[in-house]
Amino acid sequence: MSTAAAAAEWRRRLGRRQAAARVFVAACQAATLLGLLFLGVLLVDVVRDGAPYLRPALVTGFPSRFPHQAGYASALVGTVSVAAIMSLVAFPLGVAAAVYLEEYARPGRLVRWLEVNIANLAAVPSVLYGLLGLGVFVEGLRMGKSVLAGALTLALLVLPLTILASREAIRAVPLSMREAAYALGATRWQVVRHHVLPYAAPGIFTGVILALSRAVGETAPLIMLGALQYVPFLPRSVWDYFTVLPIQIFTYVSLPNPEFQRLAAAGILLLLAVLLLLNGTAIWLRARARVRW
Amino acid sequence: MSRPVERRRARERWLTGLLAASALLSLAVTAAIVGVLAYESARFFRLPLEAADPALVARRADLQRFAETRPDLVGRPWRLVREFFTETTWSPLYSAGRFGVLPLVVGTLLTSAIAVAVAVPLGLLAAVSLSEFAREAVRARVKPALEVLAGIPTIVYGYFALTFVTPLLQERVFGPAMAGQNALAAGLVMGVMLLPLVASLSEDVMRAVPLELRQAAYALGATRMEVAVRVVLPGALSGIAAACLLALSRAVGETMIVALAAGQTPNWTVNPLEPVETLTAFIVQVSLGDTPYGSVEYRTLFAVGMLLFVATLVMNALSVRVVQRFRERYL
């Protein structure tokens, strides 16, 4: 082949390669946009379906056979009580575990084991935590299908997430802070209590809120705890039956009357509003806490 | 003089113990999960033995039903084990129950395969776009927006798949051949849900590929596509493989989307237009009804749960192993 022919061939190939590159770049951008487009369509669809049911009865009404009376009162109170009790249990334990792993434990086999174990726990399907709760809390400890059993089950679910997020926040506190405190004769706990935790607090809170919003959106593990019962009352104690927002939505979606599906869409808007509030707080905390060392 | 110091030391000791106990709690949680699942699934496979014990059968209505409807299993636990793992009819909730779990396994694999077929290509393209082509300002906005997808509760996706995606596909594409609950819509929506997971993890490893490699390729005249596909992708392969395995494991464990949109009918089929039941959807289905402690249904819950646990554990362990074995080390 002559040089000129080779050059022509090369140029032809170059044209093809450049065309392929253009198509590829466009495909990449399209894939990114597709996710966002999907999100948009989903939100529009839910708003369109749920809008007629955005009325006071949405938050004051109890489950009912009549869609125009039905609402999410017991689910909303259930979500708040379960989330509150769960937070009291899971977050102190999670932060304490993170403090131990970051500040106390000597690196070694035990720490490596704990790390692998926590990572594995974080990846266990949530529905299996439901089986755990059913076997241990509901039947084993005879708590019955109660607010307390639900809260403890979710606490175990978010524990690994809390530990992972808190460790990250604690690790971001510079070593020099600790060294300065130790040099002044502070004990380990004093260093943690007065120096590490205050500086890590915004990061920890952000992680905690994200874990909380994960728990608020969870459906599957609570179905096992019988939270699906028709609950036309507010829980009065931690031993009562309960329902939560995602489960009430699931119940309404499963009913044959299409009006209930619209009510479910309105419930989804309510759930998303709660999550937006939580995540907004997390973002606000993160923005405020951006300390540069 | 030394008393405050001693008091402080004592406080240090019990606080250290308290913190260590919290850290060890996570081991206890794992032990409890494994313990509960193993114990109750063992009791499932012991059903034939219990049904062979006249004293027990006389006391328990469900055992009596089991013994009457499945006399072939009474006293033969190994036959139940073989039926569980090899037969293709799953109907433990009916009176003459069959316990072949394969339809649930196939249903799970079908919906997960569809989800992964959506999430992996799209997620990788999105990751390339964010890591290689997008300007920093665009990336900083688009990435959190994509992560919103990952934060939406799965019940919302289930609602969307059931009330929007399925009717749309029925109307526009498949017509009445598509059932109201089907593997396709559930899988597609699950795929979009997993897209940000694949994109985000892959993007992180792609950005870790050193700039010099890209510059060298560009200097040789490579196009943007050639750099992305032949330099960045191979360099990030271990992380990408791990992300895909993680996505698969999430798809297998995902519950609400498939329970709502894929159905609650065990179905020995790979036709994506038909309803199928996954392992997770079965757990939901049983939990919706009343399952007295220790009953046959109660035990099947845990046998299916054990299978799910082992499957996801293996995939997660594999993904960790892949990262360790095949990571490119850049100096």
ipTM: 0.91
* Selected residues 99-158 of chain A with any CB under 8 Å from a CB in chain B: 99-101, 104-105, 113-114, 116-121, 123-132, 134-136, 139-140, 156
Q: Which of A248, A293, A277 is nearest to A79 (CA)?
A: A248
Compute the nearest-CA separation of A233 from chain B (Å): 20
A194 and A217 belong to one structural domain: yes
B331 within a domain of the structure (yes/no) = no
Domain hosting residue B108, numbered range: 102-326
B244 and B296 belong to one structural domain: yes
Residue B1 has pLDDT above 60, yes or no: no
Compute the nearest-CA separation of A2 from chain B (Å): 22
Query: CB of A17 within 8 Å of any CB in chain B?
Result: yes
B33 and B56 belong to one structural domain: no
Percent of chain A clearing pLDDT 70 (strictly above): 97
Q: Which of B196, B145, B211, A175 is nearest to A183 (CA)?
A: A175
A44 within a domain of the structure (yes/no) = yes
A293 within a domain of the structure (yes/no) = no
Residue B14 has pLDDT above 80, yes or no: yes
Please name the member of A17, A34, A163 whose beta carbon is closest to the beta carbon of B122. A34
- Mean of the pLDDT values across residues A264-290? 86
B124 and B52 belong to one structural domain: no
In the prediction, which pLDDT does A238 show?
80
Helix B102-128 / helix A3-50 crossing angle, nearest 10 deg: 120
Residue A289 has pLDDT above 70, yes or no: no
In the prediction, which pLDDT does B57 show?
84
Residue B53 has pLDDT above 60, yes or no: yes
B256 and B159 belong to one structural domain: yes
Bridge partners, residue B99, by sequence? B90
Q: Cβ of A253 and B121 within 8 Å?
A: no
* Selected residues 191-230 of chain B with any CB under 8 Å from a CB in chain A: 192, 195-196, 199, 223-226, 228-229
Out of B60, B86, B112, pick the residue that ends a domain.
B86
Residue B2 has pLDDT above 70, yes or no: no
In the prediction, which pLDDT does A133 show?
93
Contact yes or no for A219/B256 (Cβ under 8 A): yes
**Helix and strand numbers, DSSP H then E, in chain A:** 12, 0
Q: Which of B307, B266, B260, B267 is nearest to B284 (CA)?
A: B260
If one counts the domains in chain A, the total is 2
Compute the nearest-CA separation of A277 from chain B (Å): 13
Q: What is the pLDDT of residues B135-153, one digit of tens each?
A: 989 988 888 888 888 889 9
Radius of gyration of chain B (CA): 26
In the prediction, which pLDDT does A233 show?
76
B50 within a domain of the structure (yes/no) = yes
Token couple for B225: 């596509």
Average pLDDT of the residues of chain B: 90
B302 within a domain of the structure (yes/no) = yes
Residue A191 has pLDDT above 70, yes or no: yes
B29 and B80 belong to one structural domain: no
- Mean of the pLDDT values across residues B301-328? 89
* Selected residues 312-331 of chain B with any CB under 8 Å from a CB in chain A: 312-313, 316-317, 320
**Helix and strand numbers, DSSP H then E, in chain B:** 17, 0
* Selected residues 149-208 of chain A with any CB under 8 Å from a CB in chain B: 156, 159-160, 163, 187-189
Per-residue pLDDT band for A229 (boundaries 50, 70, 90) equals low
A69 and A187 belong to one structural domain: yes
Contact yes or no for A158/A212 (Cβ under 8 A): yes
Distance CA A253, CA A271 (A): 14
Per-residue pLDDT band for B326 (boundaries 50, 70, 90) equals confident
If one counts the domains in chain B, the total is 3
Residue A292 has pLDDT above 60, yes or no: no
A152 within a domain of the structure (yes/no) = yes
In the prediction, which pLDDT does B70 show?
86
Compute the nearest-CA separation of B153 from chain A (Å): 5
In the prediction, which pLDDT does A202 show?
86
DSSP code per residue over A238-257: TTS----HHHHHHHHHHSSS
A68 and A126 belong to one structural domain: yes
Per-residue pLDDT band for A179 (boundaries 50, 70, 90) equals very high
| Between B214 and A282, the higher pLDDT residue | B214
Domain hosting residue A7, numbered range: 3-53
- Mean of the pLDDT values across residues A232-243? 81
On chain B, the residues whose CB falls within 8 A of the CB of A36 are: 142, 145-146
* Selected residues 30-69 of chain B with any CB under 8 Å from a CB in chain A: 30, 32-33, 36-37, 39-40
Contact yes or no for B259/B287 (Cβ under 8 A): no
A127 and A28 belong to one structural domain: no
Buried b (16+ CB within 10 A) or exposed e, B185-216: bbbbbbbbbbbbbbbbbbbebbeebeeebbee
Q: Cβ of B29 and A20 within 8 Å?
A: no
Looking at A173-187, A278-292, B293-307, which range is the least confident one?
A278-292
